[in-house]
Structure 1
């Protein structure tokens, strides 16, 4: 049964559409927080002033809560037996991630027809829930930005639910259909023998297949790749409290500014600024307002830019 619209978008079509699993993230005390790229990304876009919507799949109890947890955001969800659930454990400074439950894969039919015309679309898989064929639903063209955060295509899990890296076998099939790919530099380290130089070689190769590729590196900033050429952008100083979702916030902010300005350089700097706020509070509470962002951008430009 296709997804049901739980909450209409503020505009038809919404300015921004994200597709992927929302998640229940297990916290150290055993409680849960709402997570997932679609959650952080759509909240960021709404905070920045554009109408946003998401398509997901989750259990009925979570679906019932979504309109109050994500006010103002268009919501379409397919009811499933369970909600994708992640648990992170830390050992000797390293994160060990477990997939405790996985919802059903999403299908093309789950995307409401009016939303398919959204000018910005973000494919945001977390647990292999999107097939490569979904890119065919959003043909590239003037007035549209089709992007992906491939984290969920780079994961597999064993019988205990422990998450391991896996190569993105469909990369060469998907990338030519995208306008932008946004990912963490560290996502590729397992396939590069831990070498940042080898990871960068993969990024350069992929950037020959997609117009824009952005690799984030936390406090080290972000790198924009175009046709194999790299341009680095420093991060904004931040007092880190919780890095959860910062990459998702970055991706959404980058796409918003790219759509507004058409300038990927300005979009990376803008996204770095927005993401710097997101790490300064817990969960989605750090996502800033446009006024906060403009003030921090102006501080970096300095008085001579005024």
Structure 2
């Protein structure tokens, strides 16, 4: 029997390759679970990876509950950044996850984040969890918005199952940039897509890097300024934002305050490499206090 964590996230852990051939542990589930834990929640991950990486996960994630199925290989990315834009290559892909991979007792986790990276979660996952008062079912859909060519280069692809998934979610969180390829690079057209999606889900949040984030509630928008920092590594910032937003929403129930809290949390994550920048609750609140945003 595995006790349900407060915060459950599902998707592939990844090897993010460095230029020297070494790797850092990545993936939405990695950044999100660590963020929730450092903000004070018990966190758990359902994933699959190769046996060697699975054996290393307790060292990388010593305080995170893990349920990992073995796969012949782990999802492996190369991320290249230039002038704020990322070119990404998929070098290997783990097996798709199955609904049976989720421990029965974990189905009652009060906060669930679906974090696909490479089309590894079928739309059926969203119906696995019982809707109930006080619980939150959320998704970051970047992995449903990706395809890759024969060379492994990752390209955007339309989210074909959006209208099948959104009605079963409480929260959708994504990057504004994820939709620009489908809006001819026009931000107003991207906002129109987001506004349309927001009619099918109670809360939708679009992050936009140094421009902050926008909260959509049934088509109505509210914008929140970012925190001014020096960016070192943007990898995982959106996942940190998502986990921070959900953690604050779960505790306090105020979406607007949760967005600002998440902006503060994500600002720390880009100041250092990989998972090293994920802050504690005390650091997040101190930065908010410095900016005069803590109430």
Identify whether the pair has TM-score above 0.5, normalized to the shorter chain. Answer: yes
Q: Which residue of 38, 41, 46 maps to 1:50?
A: 41
Whether 1:36 and 2:27 are equivalent positions in the alignment is yes
- Whether the 8 Å contact between 1:222 and 1:272 is mirrored in structure 2 is yes
How far has the Cα of 1:279 moved from its partner?
Answer: 0.8
- Whether the 8 Å contact between 1:140 and 1:179 is mirrored in structure 2 is no
User: What are the Cα deviations for residues 23-58 of structure 1, in whole angstroms up to 9, with x where unaligned?
Assistant: 001112221110000000000011011100000010
Structure 1 residue runs of 4 or more that deviate by more than 3 Å after TM superposition: 89-94
Q: Output the CA distance in 2 between the equivalents of 1:227 and 1:181.
A: 12
Q: Output the CA distance in 2 between the equivalents of 1:90 and 1:236.
A: 21
- For 1:69-80, list aligned pairs within 5 A: 69-80=60-71
Q: Which residue of structure 2 lines up, in the alignment, with residue 65 of structure 1?
A: 56
Q: Output the CA distance in 1 between the equivalents of 2:190 and 2:229.
A: 26
Whether 1:287 and 2:274 are equivalent positions in the alignment is no
- For 1:1-306, list aligned pairs within 5 A: 12-90=3-81, 94-301=85-292
The 1:221–1:94 alpha-carbon spacing in structure 2 relative to 1, beyond 3 Å, is: closer
How far has the Cα of 1:269 moved from its partner?
Answer: 0.5
Query: Structure 1: which 5+ residue stretches go unaligned?
Result: none
Q: Output the CA distance in 1 between the equivalents of 2:188 and 2:83.
A: 25
The 3-state SS of whatever aligns with 1:301 is coil
- With the length of structure 1 as denominator, give the TM-score of the two structures: 0.94
How far has the Cα of 1:91 moved from its partner?
Answer: 6.2
How far has the Cα of 1:264 moved from its partner?
Answer: 0.1
User: What are the Cα deviations for residues 186-239 of structure 1, in whole angstroms up to 9, with x where unaligned?
Assistant: 000000001111000000000000000000001110000000011000001112
The 3-state SS of whatever aligns with 1:252 is helix
The 3-state SS of whatever aligns with 1:242 is coil
The 3-state SS of whatever aligns with 1:175 is helix
Q: Output the CA distance in 2 between the equivalents of 1:169 and 1:142.
A: 29
* Greater shift in the superposed pair: 81-90 or 264-273: 81-90
- Whether the 8 Å contact between 2:213 and 2:263 is mirrored in structure 1 is yes
How far has the Cα of 1:90 moved from its partner?
Answer: 4.7
- With the length of structure 2 as denominator, give the TM-score of the two structures: 0.97
Aligned-CA RMSD value = 1.5
Q: Output the CA distance in 2 between the equivalents of 1:66 and 1:147.
A: 24
Query: Structure 2: which 5+ residue stretches go unaligned?
Result: none
- Whether the 8 Å contact between 1:242 and 1:280 is mirrored in structure 2 is yes
Q: Output the CA distance in 2 between the equivalents of 1:101 and 1:109.
A: 23
Q: Output the CA distance in 2 between the equivalents of 1:300 and 1:227.
A: 29
- Whether the 8 Å contact between 1:23 and 1:34 is mirrored in structure 2 is yes
- Whether the 8 Å contact between 2:108 and 2:130 is mirrored in structure 1 is no
User: What are the Cα deviations for residues 55-96 of structure 1, in whole angstroms up to 9, with x where unaligned?
Assistant: 001000000000111011000011010000011235676432
Aligned residues: 295
Q: Output the CA distance in 2 between the equivalents of 1:89 and 1:299.
A: 33
